[in-house]
A and B are shown apart, each in its own frame.
Chain A
Amino acid sequence: MAGGSAKGGGGHAEGVAGVRLYVWIYILLLAFTGLSVAVSQLLMDVFGHTPVTVAILAFSTIKATFILAYYMHLKYERIWIRMWLYLPLAIFVLVLIGVGPDIYLVLRDLWTHILTFAGVSGGVHH
Chain B
Amino acid sequence: MSAASSAHAHELSFWRKYIFSTDHKVIGKQYLLTGLFMALIGGAFALIFRWNLANPGTLTDKQYLMFVTYHGSIMFFWVAMPILLGGFGNLLIPLMIGARDMAFPVLNMLSYWTFFLSVVLLVASLLVPGGGFSGGWTLYPPLSAIPDLYMGAEPGTILLLLALALEFASMLMGGINYVATVFTMRVKGLTFFRLPYFVWMQILAAFLFMLSVTPLIAAVFLLLMDILLGTHFFRVTAEQAGSPVLFQHLFWFFGHPEVYVILFPALGILAEIFTSQARRPLFGYRTLVWAGIIAGILSFLVWAHHQFVAGINPYSAIGFSILTVIISVPFSLMLIYFGITLAGGSIRFSAPMIWALGAYAMFIIGGLTGLPLGALTSDIYFHDTYYVVAHFHYTVFTIVILSSIAGIYYWFPKFFGRKLPERFGKWHAILTLIFYNGFAFPAFFLGMAGHPRRYADILAYNYLEEFQWVHQLMTISTILLFAVQIVFAFVFIRSIFAGEQVTDPNPWRATTLEWLAPSPPPHLNWGDTQPVVEHGPYEYAVNGELAKQGIDFLPQGKLYRLQKLPEEVAHHLGGKGEQSESEVEKATS
Contact = CB atoms under 8 A, between A and B. Distances in A.
Check if A and B associate.
yes
Interface string B227-249: 00000000010111101011001
A120 to B, nearest CB: 10
Contacts of A24: none
A108 to B, nearest CB: 9
B241 A102 contact: no
A114 interface: yes
A117 B241 CA distance: 12
Interface of B: 99-103, 105, 183-185, 211-212, 214-215, 236, 238-241, 243, 245-246, 249-250, 253, 300-301, 303-304, 311-313, 315-316, 320, 566-568
Interface stretch (A53-61, A62-70, A92-100): A92-100
A94 B323 CA distance: 14
Nearest to B311: A106
A94 B341 CA distance: 36
A103 B246 contact: yes
Given A2-B568, A98-B303, A107-B241, 18 more contacts: A1-B103, A1-B185, A80-B183, A88-B211, A94-B301, A95-B215, A95-B249, A95-B250, A95-B253, A98-B249, A98-B320, A99-B246, A99-B253, A101-B313, A102-B245, A103-B245, A105-B313, A111-B241
A48 interface: no
A89 to B, nearest CB: 11
25 contacts: A1-B99, A1-B101, A1-B102, A1-B105, A1-B568, A2-B566, A2-B568, A3-B100, A5-B184, A91-B300, A94-B300, A95-B249, A95-B250, A95-B253, A98-B253, A98-B303, A98-B320, A101-B313, A102-B249, A102-B311, A102-B313, A103-B243, A106-B246, A114-B239, A117-B238
Given A80-B183, A91-B300, A114-B238, A107 B568 contact: no
Interface of A: 1-5, 8, 80, 87-88, 91, 94-95, 98-99, 101-103, 105-107, 110-111, 114, 117-118
A110 B136 CA distance: 25
B395 to A, nearest CB: 23
A6 to B, nearest CB: 10
A98 B249 CA distance: 8
B211 A91 contact: yes
Contacts of A101: 313, 315-316
B312 A102 contact: yes
Given A1-B99, A2-B567, A91-B300, A107 B243 contact: yes
A107 B316 CA distance: 16
Nearest to A80: B183
Contacts of A98: 249, 253, 301, 303-304, 316, 320
A92 B101 CA distance: 34
Chain B interface mostly = helix
Contacts of B103: 1, 4
Contacts of B320: 98
A114 B240 contact: yes
A97 B577 CA distance: 60
Contacts of A105: 313
B149 to A, nearest CB: 19
A105 B184 CA distance: 46
Q: 6 closest pairs, A vs B, by CB?
A: A110-B241, A99-B249, A102-B312, A101-B313, A102-B313, A4-B184
A106 B307 CA distance: 14
Contacts of B312: 102
B243 A110 contact: yes
B243 A106 contact: yes
Interface centre among A1, A99, A106, A117 (most CB of B within 10 A): A1
Contacts of A1: 99-103, 105, 185, 568
Contacts of A88: 211, 214
A114 B236 CA distance: 9
B249 to A, nearest CB: 4
Contacts of A106: 243, 245-246, 311
Nearest to B244: A106
A114 B240 CA distance: 7
A98 B568 CA distance: 50
Nearest to A7: B184
B351 to A, nearest CB: 35
B81 to A, nearest CB: 20
Contacts of B304: 98, 102
A91 B184 CA distance: 25
Given A98-B253, A99-B249, A118-B239, A87 B313 contact: no
Nearest to B207: A87
Contacts of B250: 95, 99
A91 B210 CA distance: 11
A87 B211 contact: yes
A15 to B, nearest CB: 21
Contacts of A110: 236, 241, 243
Contacts of A4: 103, 184-185
A91 B99 CA distance: 32
A106 B98 CA distance: 53
A96 B311 CA distance: 17
Most chain A CB within a 10 A radius of its CB, from B105, B183, B211, B238: B211
A9 to B, nearest CB: 13
B311 to A, nearest CB: 7
Contacts of A80: 183
Contacts of B212: 91
A118 B243 CA distance: 19
A5 B236 CA distance: 52
A111 B103 CA distance: 51
